[in-house]
Chain A
Amino acid sequence: MVDKVLELGGYAAGYAGRLYAHAGADVVRVEYGVTPPAWASPVAMDSFLHAGKRRVATSDPTLIQQLAAAADVVICEASGADAVHALGFQEWSTPVKAALTPFGLTGPKRNWHATPNTLLAMGGYTVLMGDAEREPLSLPGHYLEFQTGALAYTACNAAQLAGQSTDIDIGMLETLMSLSQFTTVRWHCAGELRTRHGSDFWFVVPSELFRCTDGWAYINIVPQFWDAFTVFLDRPELLVDGRFTNNGLRMQHRTALHEIVAEVLATFSVAQVHERAASCRVPVGVVQSFADVLDDPHLAERDFWQAVEAAPGAPEMSGVKLPSLPFRLGDKKSTRLHLNGVKPLTEPTLWGRLWGR
Chain B
Amino acid sequence: MTNPVDGPLNGVRILDLTHVWAGPLAVRMLADLGAEVVRVEAPTSRGPRVFPSAPIGGWLSGSVSDEPWNDSALFVKLARNRRSLALDLKTDQGRAVFLRLVTQADVLVENFSARAMPSLGLDSATLQRANPQLIYLCMPGYGASGPLKDRVAFGPTVEVMCGFTNMMGYGPDEPRNTAMALMDPVAAANSTAAVLTALRQRQQQGNGMRVEMSLHEGGVSYNGPWLIDHQLGQAPTCMGNRHPQMAPHGVYRCVGEDEWLALACADDRQWQDLCRLLPGLDASLDLRARQQQQDDIDLQISAWTSQRSKHAAAELLQQHGVPAGAVNNVPDMVDDPQVQAREFFVRYERYDRPMPGNPIHMPGLDSSQWSPCPRLGEHNAEVLGDWLGLSDAEIAGLQADGVIVDKPPA
Contact = CB atoms under 8 A, between A and B. Distances in A.
Interface of A: 1, 19, 23, 34, 36-41, 43-45, 47-48, 103-110, 112-115, 117-131, 134-143, 146-148, 150-151, 153-155, 157-162, 164, 166-171, 173-175, 177-204, 207, 209, 216-220, 222, 225, 246-248, 277-278, 281-294, 297-299, 301-302, 304, 316, 320-330
A276 to B, nearest CB: 12
A141 B12 CA distance: 35
A164 B353 CA distance: 33
Given A186-B58, A287-B175, A298-B148, A326 B186 contact: yes
A18 to B, nearest CB: 10
B243 A117 contact: yes
Contacts of B212: 327-328
Contacts of A117: 241, 243, 249-251, 262, 264
Chain B residues touching A, range: 35 or more
Given A47-B228, A161-B200, A218 B330 contact: no
Contacts of A180: 356
Interface stretch (B96-104, B149-157, B400-408): B149-157
Given A40-B225, A107-B342, A178 B358 contact: yes
B16 to A, nearest CB: 17
A167 B362 contact: yes
* 10 closest cross-chain pairs (CB), A and B: A190-B58, A40-B225, A285-B157, A37-B245, A121-B262, A118-B325, A182-B57, A157-B196, A162-B8, A327-B194
Given A39-B226, A39-B243, A301-B146, A218 B189 contact: no
B330 A246 contact: no
A6 to B, nearest CB: 18
A122 B325 CA distance: 6
A174 B182 CA distance: 16
Q: State the main secondary structure of chain A at its contact with B.
A: mixed
B58 A189 contact: yes
B37 interface: no
Interface stretch (B82-90, B331-339, B379-387, B389-397): B331-339
A203 B220 contact: no
A222 to B, nearest CB: 7
Nearest to A217: B160
A101 to B, nearest CB: 11
A48 B214 CA distance: 19
Nearest to B233: A316
B362 A294 contact: no
Contacts of A158: 7-9, 33-34, 196
A175 B152 CA distance: 28
B201 A168 contact: no
A152 B204 CA distance: 21
B269 to A, nearest CB: 10
A74 to B, nearest CB: 14
A185 B77 contact: yes
B21 A181 contact: yes
Contacts of B220: 293, 299, 304, 323
A34 B268 CA distance: 12
B262 A290 contact: no
B361 A168 contact: yes
A18 B359 CA distance: 20
Interface in B334-360: 334, 336-339, 341-342, 344-345, 351, 353-360
Contacts of A201: 156, 177, 179, 181
A159 B330 CA distance: 32
A160 B169 CA distance: 41
Nearest to A222: B154
B281 interface: no
Contacts of A113: 270, 318, 321-324
B9 A40 contact: no
Q: State the main secondary structure of chain B at its contact with A.
A: mixed
Contact of A320 (B9, B145, B207, B231): B231
11 contacts: A23-B200, A112-B325, A121-B325, A147-B186, A150-B193, A164-B8, A218-B157, A287-B165, A324-B217, A329-B197, A330-B207
A186 to B, nearest CB: 5
Given A45-B225, A138-B262, A285 B161 contact: yes
A28 to B, nearest CB: 19
Contacts of A325: 190, 221
Given A166-B364, A202-B179, A277-B152, 15 more contacts: A34-B267, A107-B338, A108-B338, A120-B262, A138-B262, A161-B9, A186-B330, A188-B353, A218-B165, A287-B165, A288-B160, A288-B161, A290-B230, A323-B220, A328-B211
A170 B234 CA distance: 34
A336 B169 CA distance: 35
Contacts of B126: none
A115 B146 contact: no
Interface in B139-183: 142-143, 145-148, 150-154, 156-170, 175-182
Contact of B223 (A141, A150, A175): A141
B188 to A, nearest CB: 7
A246 B359 contact: no
Contact of A246 (B10, B52, B162): B52
Contacts of A122: 262, 325-326, 328, 333, 336
Contacts of A248: 52-53
Contacts of B240: 137
B60 interface: yes
Contact of B167 (A45, A108, A140, A329): A140
A290 B323 CA distance: 31
Given A290-B230, A324-B221, A150 B189 contact: yes
B127 to A, nearest CB: 13
A160 B342 contact: no
Nearest to B351: A189
Contacts of A328: 211-212
Given A115-B323, A186-B73, A285-B159, A124 B180 contact: no
Interface string B25-57: 100010001100000000000000000111011
B256 interface: no
B34 to A, nearest CB: 8
A287 B196 CA distance: 33
B359 A171 contact: yes
A130 B251 CA distance: 11
Contacts of B166: 287, 289-290
B187 interface: yes
A45 B244 CA distance: 13
Contact of B262 (A126, A142, A170, A277): A126
B338 A173 contact: yes
Contact of B168 (A139, A174, A202): A139
Contact of B160 (A115, A157, A193, A216): A216
